[in-house]
Each structure stands twice: as structure tokens, then as C-alpha cells.
Amino acid sequence: MTTQEIFKNLGLAQEQSGGCLSSTTWTHTTNAGVVGSHSPSTGKLLARVYGCSEADYDTLVAGSRQVYASWQMVPAPKRGEIVRLIGQALREKKDALGTLVSLEVGKIKAEGDGEVQEMIDMADFAVGLSRMLYGQTMHSERARHRMYEQWHPLGVVGVITAFNFPVAVWAWNAFIAAVVGNTVLWKPSPKAPLCALAVQHLCNRVLEDAGYPGVFALFTTDRVEMAEHMVRDERLPLISFTGSVPVGRHVAEVVGHRLGRSLLELSGNNAVIVDETADLELATQAILFGAVGTAGQRCTSTRRLIVQESQYAKLMPQLLAAYARVTIGDPLQPGVLMGPLIDADAVAHYRRALEEIKREGGEVLCGGRVLPRPGHFVEPTIVRVQNHWNVVQRETFAPILYVMTYQTLDEAIRMQNAVPQGLSSSLFTMHLRHSEEFLSAVGSDCGIANINIGTSGAEIGGAFGGEKATGGGREAGSDAWKAYMRRQTTTINWGTELPLAQGVTFGRAEGGNDGARS
């Protein structure tokens, strides 16, 4: 499909009339800035989207709150049915939307399609969840009393997403938040406005046909002050933010100050440990995808490779040979394994990281060049480093793999954990005791710990998120739905007396004393 055909298929135009949607009405503001979408493969402008104004934003929030008043009372299985219909619409548009992801953010076509499939999987999960929003019942210590807990939605949930997963992360949040009874206000990355517009168009059609317009709203801007206004807005009880640690820390402080909730998915500095018993062919495949997939621009990308000394001389030739076979180019072309970085700033960041590595004394084993062609292409790079170096301690959002060696597994686990981030981790081993130690309380300190698979490519059935500077949030599967709800403990007295808890008596004289006693 040509770009024009993709746009037509997804209801887009070269110049969008507005980047905000409240209920079923797109705004027509033209004086609040323009968000340009550029192809990272060519650097050329794909389309322009008019940004939202302060007045547009307030209209969005007011409309979302109004819709919430009725949406929260729709039975959860019926809310699930709406999400099922959205999942079906995504199936029909998977090829076009996956292609748009590749065009706008530079993922290869397989990864673009995979991201849309992740949305579909998330919709399926949410449909099932709509019939499983369980609370608990508890035995009361008081006669003829019943205790239980129930869960209620929060209201309007704010979702702020990053460019590297321009649609899937929204689905993690939005489908679960909607099924449990919330409405959702989405601020996508200004680097990927077209993907967000395409998804919003698709959702609009489904929601209008089903008679539930306005459950999802879109707020497009590249103005920092507008994003700040959203984070500070007390009408949004939850802000889900995906991005860097510095911005995430600010979001947590601002939302916490107003006693709201924040759900944070921040940086990763993920390590693969390869022990002396590892299947090296399996490890090589996983490391290659983890470090090179999405041009190293995933929060779960493999950043560090920690290899047992006896395996280094065996593994590295295999890994270097695999890197030599990586085809770099147009992400929509068959056979290409790595597309571009997102923009010129990302290329500059790649350059600065390599300069710092060389100053520290690091050895570049392969790659390390910016490619002299249109777009933002670089070579996937492997460097020999020390774990304590400042550059290794940070998340380098580029296809740079830091390699180091270890002697004992305890040492390797300490090295893995000795970074501020705690998202994803992996051990390649055929040793049962090594596997169990890695997964124990004294093993990996990450939110995700894998054995014999890489750090990247999490399934939606498990809760996704990390510890330490990664933010502590959990999205997608398991019981992550509870983040979008408030818990209420309920006690019902069906008797004729009023006993107090803990055997307290109150208001009658006993033993010469008036008042309460235990």
C-alpha cells in the first residue's frame, strides 16, 4: 500500500482538521500549534496535525466526565462486548495500522503488525476480564454480619504514551480501564500522532455504532505546558505515564502532591546473563532480537550482556556473525531486520554514548557508525565495557549492547542488579539450581525475570512493569486491572443487635465505669 492508500484506509488526511476528540466531535482549532509527523526512514513530513488548545482540553475532560457518569453503570460484560468489537475492527485493519506504525516510528513491518496484534490480544484479555472482576468475602467476627470487598471505577483515566509503542501501550491501559468502567483521555507522543488518530477513528466508529460514544478521547499536543496541565488536573484521578525516569519522577511528584494515583512505566537497563551451561545458539537469537529489535528503542531492549568467562570466546563469534547479517534499511522492505532511530536527537544520543564509552576505555567490537543516507540510520553496536561506568548505568535508548564477563553466578546477579533500573532480566542456563537462584528473593530484582528467553517481548497475560527507577507500575495482565479501580470494604449487619468490633462496648456503665472497654 502507498502512504495515501494507508491514510485513506485508516480515515486520515495529509492535514488533519484537529487532533482532539470530545464525545464524537473533532475540534477545529488551528491556533494552538501544529504537530508534524515525520518518517524516520526518510526525514520527510508525512502529515500535520493541529494541536489542542487549553479550551479544547477542558472540553475533553468535561465530556469524558459526562460520559463516565453513564458508562460506569453499564454492566461490565456489556462493556467487554464493546471492547470485543474494537478488537474485531483492529483485526480488519491490522495490515494498514501495522504499516502506519512502521511508517511513523520506524519499526520493521513484522514488529508493526506485532504491535497491532498486541492490541488485539489485549482486547481479548479485557473481554474475559469483564466477567472476572472479583472481590473477596471475609468472615466477620460479629454475629449476623457479612463482610466483603468490591471494586469501583475511578473516573477519567489519563494515559500518556511514548513513541516506541505508539498504540499497544495505550491498549494495555485503555481496554482494561474501559472494561472496569472508566473513560480514558489519551495524550500520545507528539512523535507519533498519526497512529493515535488512526486508532481513535477506529474506536469512534465502533463506539458510535454500539451507542456508547465518547468512552475514549484524544488530546494531541507537543506543548510541555499542556502536558503539565493534564498531569496537574485533579479531575483525572489516575495518570498512567510511559517515558523517561526524570519525567516520570516529576509526574509522580506532581500527581502525588494532589493525592492522585500515578502508574509509571519508565526506563529499563536490562541484562542477559549467559552461564557456563547455556545453549549458546538459543542465547544468540534472543540477544540479537533483544538488542537490535526496534533499533534498541524498547524499554525491554537488552542493554547489557553478562557472560561467564568460559563462554565468552565461544559466544562472541556467534553473536558478531549474527550482527553482521543484520540488514538495515526501509522497515517496510522484506528482509530488513532493523529500521531507523526515531529522529536526529536519537542519533545524537547514540553518538554521545559511543564517545563516552571510548573516553572510558571501552572497546567497540562491531558497529558504531551513523550511516550516510537519508533518515536516521545507525549500525547496531557491541562494546566491551565495565558495569560501573556511568554510561552503562544509564538507559541508552539505541542499539548499543554492553558486554562484560563474570566468574560466579552470585557475581553476575550482583552486576545485573547494580543499576538504578529494574524492568526486565534474563538468564540462559541448563542448570536447575542456577535457574532457581536467579528467580529467588536473592536473585533478579526486576519486575520481569526470564529463563532461556530474552528480555524483550513480554506476553500480555502477565502484569508488565518494573521496580526501582522503572517506577513500580504494572499494566496489562494478571491483576493489573486493580490499578484502575478503587477498593471498597463493605459490612452488612443483618441482625437485630449492634455489636462493635474487637468486643468494644460503648455508652453503658460496666464495673463502675461509663464509656468504652475492650
What domains can be seen in the chain, in order of their start residue?
3-133+150-266+475-483 (3.40.605.10), 270-460 (3.40.309.10)
Is the predicted pLDDT of residue 518 greater than 70, yes or no? no
Helices 109-129 and 168-179: angle between axes, nearest 10 degrees = 10
Is the predicted pLDDT of residue 20 greater than 80, yes or no? no
How would residue 517 be classed by pLDDT, with cut points 50, 70 and 90?
very low
Of 26-35, 127-136, 258-267, minimum mean pLDDT range: 26-35
Tell me what the pLDDT averaged over the chain comes to: 95
Claim: this prediction has a pTM higher than 0.85 = yes
Is the predicted pLDDT of residue 345 greater than 50, yes or no? yes
Tens digit of each residue's pLDDT (9 = 90 or more) over 420-439: 999 999 999 999 999 999 99
User: How much is the pLDDT for 22?
Assistant: 60
User: How much is the pLDDT for 97?
Assistant: 98
SS3 277: coil
Please give the residue that has the higher pLDDT: either 500 or 516.
500
- Which is the catalytic residue, given 104, 111, 115, 265? 265
Q: Grid coordinates standing for 143?
A: 454475629
- Which is the catalytic residue, given 299, 395, 446, 475? 299
Residues 126-135, mean pLDDT to the nearest whole number: 97
User: How much is the pLDDT for 24?
Assistant: 63
Is the predicted pLDDT of residue 512 greater than 70, yes or no? no
User: How much is the pLDDT for 457?
Assistant: 85
Which strand (E) or helix (H) includes residue 488? strand 485-493
User: How much is the pLDDT for 508?
Assistant: 60
**Those residues with Cβ within 8 angstroms of residue 246's Cβ, 6 or more apart along the chain or in another chain:** none
Is the predicted pLDDT of residue 470 greater than 90, yes or no? yes
Is the predicted pLDDT of residue 21 greater than 70, yes or no? no
User: How much is the pLDDT for 307?
Assistant: 98
CB atoms within 10 A of CB 416: 27
User: How much is the pLDDT for 144?
Assistant: 97
- Residue 392 class from Cβ within 10 Å (0-12 exposed, 13-18 middle, 19+ buried)? buried
Q: Is 510 a catalytic residue?
A: no
Q: Grid coordinates standing for 212?
A: 456508547
Q: Is 52 a catalytic residue?
A: no
Tens digit of each residue's pLDDT (9 = 90 or more) over 369-396: 999 999 999 999 999 999 999 999 999 9
| Among the listed residues 221, 258, 214, the one whose alpha carbon sits nearest the alpha carbon of residue 236 | 258
Determine phi and psi for 365, rounding to 5 degrees. Answer: -90, -30
Partnered with residue 6 across adjacent β-strands are none
In sequence order, what DSSP letters do the residues of 30-58 get, joined into one string? -SS-EEEEE-TTT--EEEEEEPPPHHHHH
Of 24-33, 141-150, 409-418, 453-462, minimum mean pLDDT range: 24-33
Residues 191-200, mean pLDDT to the nearest whole number: 96
SS3 19: coil
User: How much is the pLDDT for 516?
Assistant: 38
Of 6-15, 71-80, 116-125, minimum mean pLDDT range: 6-15
- Residue 251 class from Cβ within 10 Å (0-12 exposed, 13-18 middle, 19+ buried)? buried
